[in-house]
Amino acid sequence: MRNWMWKQGKLLVRIPYSRSGVATNIFVDDGETLLVLDAGDGVLRDILDHHLPLNRLQHVLLSHNHIDHTAGLLPLFFFLNLIQRHDPVELYYPALGTDSLKKLLAIYEERPSSFAVRHRELRDQEEFTLGRFRVRPFFVHHKEPELRDRADPRRVSAVGLKLVHPEGTVLYSGDAGFTAELQQEARGVDLAIVEATWGKDFEKFARDRTPEERAQMSRVHMTEEEARRVGAGAREHVLVHRISVGH
Q: Quick one: how far is CA 245 from the chain centroid?
A: 22
Contact 12, 21 (CB under 8 A): no
pLDDT of residue 146: 66
Task: Read off the pLDDT of residues 15-31 as tens digits, 9 standing for 90 and up.
Answer: 999 999 999 999 999 99
pLDDT of residue 193: 98
CA distance 149 to 155: 6
Please give the C-alpha separations between residue 3 and each of 24, 27, 69, in angstroms, as whole numbers.
12, 11, 17
For residue 67, the 8-state DSSP code is: G
Mean pLDDT over 83-94 rounds to: 97
Asked if the model's pLDDT at residue 145 lies above 70, the reply is no
CA distance 160 to 123: 11
